[in-house]
Structures are given as C-alpha cells and as structure tokens.
Structure 1
Amino acid sequence: MARTNYSFEKRQKELAKKKKQEEKLQQKLEKKKKTDDGREDAAAETEVLPSE
C-alpha cells in the first residue's frame, strides 16, 4: 500500500492559499480603482458645473 506524501499535500495547500490571497488582492485593487475612477469623474463634473 502506498504511503501518503504529506509534504506534497502541504505544498498544494500552501499554493492554493497563496493563489486565493492573490485573487482577493486583485479584487480589492479593482474595487479601489473603480471607486477612485468614480470619485475623479464626480469631482470633474462638480468642477464643470460652477463655471457654467
């Protein structure tokens, strides 16, 4: 009977955890970018309105 390779399982678990963290970070960055873009657009529109 084959023995379980715990080192391999641990490495795979670590890789999955790292991948999940990176995806989460990307989502946060995209969300922040969208929020920042929205603020810039709103600020630009507010600046245009008083000058009209």
Structure 2
Amino acid sequence: MAKPNFQFQKRQKELERKKKNDEKLQRKLAKKDLASEPAPDQLSQEDVIE
C-alpha cells in the first residue's frame, strides 16, 4: 500500500493559502484605490461650479 505524501499535501496547502492571501490583498488595494479616487461625475460637477 502506498504511503501518503505529506510534504506534497503541505506544499499544496501553503500555495493555496498564499494564493488566497494575494487575492485578498489585491481586493483590498483595489477597494482602497476606488475610495481614494473621486468619481468622474464629481469632477465634472466641481468644474461646473468653479
């Protein structure tokens, strides 16, 4: 009977965890960028007022 390859399983789990964390970081950065940039509609309204 074949022995389970625990090193392979551990490595796959680590890669999966790293990928998930990278995706989470990208979502946070995208959300931060959207919050910091004013919407195009807001820019045009400010230009009209001035």
State the TM-score, normalizing by the size of structure 2: 0.77
Aligned to 2:13: 13
Question: 1:1-52, aligned counterparts within 5 Å?
Answer: 1-38=1-38, 42=42, 45=46, 48=47, 49=49, 51=50
CA offsets 1:10-45 (integer angstroms, 9 cap, x no match): 000000000000000000000000001127x75x52
Q: Which has the higher helix share?
A: 1
State the TM-score, normalizing by the size of structure 1: 0.74
Any unmatched runs of 5+ in structure 1? none
Letter in 2 for 1:25: L
Provide the aligned length of Structure 1 versus Structure 2. Answer: 46
CA RMSD of aligned residues (A): 1.7
Q: Distance in 2 between matches of 1:18 and 1:12?
A: 10
Q: Percent identity?
A: 50
Any unmatched runs of 5+ in structure 2? none
